[in-house]
Structure 1
Amino acid sequence: MVSFMEELWESVLTPGPSPILLKATNATFAVTIPLLIFLAIWDKNIHYWFLSLISTGLWLSINWFVKEDRIAQQKLDKEKAEATAAANAKTSDDSDTEMEPAAHPPPTGEVAGETTAPTGESSLVEPVEKHGDLKARAVSSSARSGVSTEDEWEKVSEGEQPKEL
């Protein structure tokens, strides 16, 4: 029992659903729901029926979530395995030399950063004109507030007439 409690405590502090945490959750709901149904019949109180329905829905949703999480994790593991296999296939050449991929020269009419279209066609990308260095905006005096909120409240309260008792 001590080892179960230690494993349960460690599984609470680790992310993701662990098997020991799921066992404890399912055992708790398996005891709670029949107890709520018994109390609903014995006490004839509708609140116990609603609590048992809410508990049942929560129990089913927790188990559904764990099932979907396992499916997603298996899919992710499968994708990682396929990616690793593909990477191993690429790097497992018989030659010991490294080759860089061949650089493709730019098509005719393109110079680094500029695009020109052949005669008779419009260019899809137009070069951006440079207008010089960026300058910081000057902050206008109207943007700054020299008045405190207390002064503003005084102005508002000046317009009000005092109420007579």
Structure 2
Amino acid sequence: MATFFADLISSIFTPGPTPSIIIATNASFAALQVVLLLLLIITYSIHFVVLSFLCAGLWWGINWFVTELESANRKEKDAKQSSDMKKGQGPDARKLEDSGTETEGGGTQIEEGPSDSILGSQTQGLLRPDDVQGAMRKRISSAEASSGDLSTDSEWDKVSEAEEVGR
């Protein structure tokens, strides 16, 4: 039981539905249904029937979403394995060929030999200056800016005129 709670706490920080989260969710919804049934028996209020239907719908929806997520992950894994097999590579062969150098496209680059420069292979995924310059910022006009955001030449002219008048 203690390991379940430890797994539950650690699975909070794990992306995706983990078995301990699914078990805890189902147990919580089952306990809620029992409480709603007991309250219905004690009070004979129709509100607890409605709440029970809402609880059941949410419970079903969460379990449906988890099964869809798992089936999508399974399909993605199968598609990846089939594409590896079509290339004539097994999953083990692909691991041996990967050099671990990431490229801009998100894949891996296989180093071909000593002709590759060390600096060139390390800076593949970095931004180039032309990428940075391509994104230009729009200047804020004086009508769009509030009174303290920017100063203009006309404001400096007013200051210099006030200084000349004061002399």
SS at match of 1:88: coil
Structure 1 pair 56–85 and aligned structure 2 pair: CA distance change class (3 A):
same
Instruction: Report the Cα distance in structure 2 between the residues aligned to 1:147 and 1:11, rounded to whole angstroms.
Output: 47
Percent identical pairs in the alignment equals: 36
- Map Cα deviations across residues 49-95 of structure 1 (whole Å, 9 max, x no partner): 22111110011111111111111111100000011112235x9xxxx
Aligned pairs, number = 99
RMSD: 2.7
Tell me which amino acid in the other structure corresponds to 2:19: P
Structure that is richer in helix per residue:
2
- What is the SS of the residue equivalent to 2:8? helix
Give 1:33 shift: 0.5
Separation in structure 1 between the aligned mates of residue 16 and residue 43 of structure 2, nearest angstrom: 39
Q: CA deviation at 1:47?
A: 2.2
| 2: CA distance, partners of 1:50 / 1:64 | 21
Q: Aligned partners of 2:144, 2:2: CA distance in 1, in Å?
A: 67
What residue number does 2:48 align with? Answer: 48
Q: What is the aligned partner in structure 2 of residue 32 from structure 1?
A: 32
Normalised to the residue count of structure 2, the TM-score between the two structures is 0.52
Partner of 1:66: 66
* Residue of structure 1 equivalent to 2:79: 79
Q: In the alignment, which residue of structure 1 is the partner of 2:17?
A: 17
Change (3 A) 1:147 1:77: closer
Which of the pair has more CA radius of gyration? 1
Amino acid at match of 2:143: S
1:105 match? none
Alignment of 1:122-161 (within 5 A): 144-145=142-143
Query: Which 5+ residue runs of structure 2 have no aligned equivalent?
Result: 94-111, 113-138, 148-167
Please give the alpha-carbon distance, in whole angstroms, between the structure 2 residues aligned to 1:148 and 1:20: 53
Letter in 2 for 1:19: P
Distance 1:40 1:55 in 2: 14
- Ranges in structure 1 where 5+ consecutive residues have no aligned partner: 92-97, 99-138, 150-165
Q: CA deviation digits over 1:12-57, x for unaligned, max 9? A: 1111001111111111111210220220121122222221111100
